[in-house]
Structure 1
Amino acid sequence: MAGIYIHIPFCRQACHYCDFHFSTSLRYKDDMMQAILHEIEMQKDYLGNENIETIYFGGGTPSVLSADEIDRLINQITQFHHVAADAEITLEANPDDLDREKINALRQTPVNRFSIGIQSFFDEDLVWMNRAHRAQQAEACVKRAQDAGFENITADLIYGYPLLTDTKWKHNLTTMFQLGIPHISAYSMTVEPQTALAAFISKKKQPPMSEQQSANQFNMMLDAMQTNGFEQYEISNFCKPGQYSRHNSNYWKGIRYLGIGPSAHSFNGETRQWNIANNARYLKSISENVIPAEIETLSESDRLNEYIMTSLRTIWGLDLDKLNNIAAGAPAEVLKNAQQFFDNGTLQRNNQILTLTAKGKLYADAIAAELFF
């Protein structure tokens, strides 16, 4: 099995914290559509004859595309790949794009899952982030989608930024639960280089993020999720029983995927490749029948480290047998380095599986780095 990711590199406006690849000009949207359709054909052999079980439209903001455009992209994928009848097909969307007409049109396409970027239910927070929507639109679009028959919905929240008091954070979580959303992704606000937020902080127009606030709100979230029947199956992802994101779960499990569009990444188990993050150069290259990608052949240590990093973030944990399949003898080295984390209560072992404890989830990346080869 495998997945396909389509990167749509357009947004109506730039969020202050975002460092993903996008353009706020839709001038070349039609050209980009044609290029992505062509790249799907050009990359048709990358995954071999693997069944496609997930398709994910990310960005950027894929919901700037019309339902007909999304349908064309899915049809192009099905022309060159075998797509499973029960494939999970996700569209990332902003609340301001999901009016009744758009939702009803999308209902006529194979899209069966929405990932909605809500981030907060407070207008002042959304203005601070420079989001294009407002809180009322967020609640309304979720209800419209549900009324139209879209039950498989995930929504994003952000915590750990100066405007977000604990009271507001509790309200955001409670509102999500009341809306009946079965999957929630929640991320600590991070300050990425070359973003507007980073510039504001460097010029002292905004205070820096507080690690203590982020940790406190992370723990608040864990308690609230557990109380409301959500399972934390990855550090930042929570769901009702069985409602995992199949596409993202495949990333964490090391399953192969193909990325299409500018800045999109692909992985086939042995190599990783990534397309150029420049719309004009991407369009030119595709027009010349050249895939604008850099390719990296993964060394044994690369594959070990990648598996350690991704597996430890999940409820399924790090499987020592799988580690041994990548490199004989690797489990012994990992266990030696892991002893300090067993001792301080941040890592636990159950037979051949290592998982983070609740305390350890606050330090997931640091712990994984100590286990690297």
Structure 2
Amino acid sequence: MGTLDRYRSLPRNPFRPSRRDVVVGMAGALIKGMEAVRGVSRRVRFPGEVDRTHLLRVVDRRVVAHDENVVALTLAAADDRPLPRWHPGAHLDIHLPSGLLRQYSLCGDPDVTDSYRIAVRRIPDGGGGSIEMHTLAIGDTVSTHGPRNAFPLTVPGYGSPTTRFRFVAGGIGITPILPMLGLAEKLGVDWSMVYAGRSRDSLPFIDEVDRFGDRVEIRTDDVHGVPSAAELLGDCPDGTTVYACGPAPMLTAIRAELAGRDDVELHFERFAAPPVVDGREFAVTIASSGREVVVAADETLLSALRRSDVAAPYSCQQGFCGTCRTRVLAGAVDHRDTLLTEPERENGMMLICISRAANGERLTLDL
């Protein structure tokens, strides 16, 4: 289009009809440009910004529990480049082909730089992530932004005043613990572990755990019964750091058992939403539809939305990944996360997986 044609395409100036309005034309072009990128803003990068997305290819797939419900996937860079380093306790945010985002602990060797290993237990009603992961075959691809660590191992003598480790793993909770065992062994730190589950067949990586010998106690419900917190903690003298990962009831019991033990450190990671404590029933209104959803005192806002078939993004369900960040248009929020900054909270953002309405107020959500 020539210069004259561009001028003629501009709207007329309402005050001087014989002339074209350049300012309005520029504004219109800007609005069209904004509309063009609307909905794909996550893919827009500023000049000079580095795209840290890593495309990973499945290079190995192996069943690692005898009940065949846990599969280990080895992922390598699609371009065969070395991958970012990681430390025990780290996880990957995996972007699945369906658009779902899920977190999986790294359970391989941190010294290996050309691949990552994760493991996934198949959960039929787990929101689709585990089922989709189980359908991945060798050659399929997923993407990630690289390792993150919300469960770092603090080694005695290297930042922790304690002198020994006690590891507690429940079922698939072995995945972040497994690399920790290797590091503790390498550094010569005193440690012990109890590995619990429904049955021996349900325990993933049992062969890799067995190599540590009598440092690890295997407890299964079908043989020993459901363990108490005292049995899971075992001999837990002063100066012990406890690292626990597993089902929410197990972690709740361990926390209660260690209450008041100032001489014992406790670090834990859940693979499911934490139980709601001191909750009150409240209601939310979905601004786009006017639909009302009632949240029970003992359920999360995210759970209530999913139960009501209201679509909302989520991943960790524990308040640390930020995937479920949602704008609140009206109502006061009881923030129960440590992720959002004060400016974000002041601007009306909340994490719907863990935070609630304050004092039973009604919230209006921009969903």
Q: Quick check: which has more Rg, 1 or 2?
A: 2
Greater percentage in strand: 2
**Normalised by the size of structure 1, how large is the TM-score?**
0.29
**Normalised by the size of structure 2, how large is the TM-score?**
0.29
Greater percentage in helix: 1
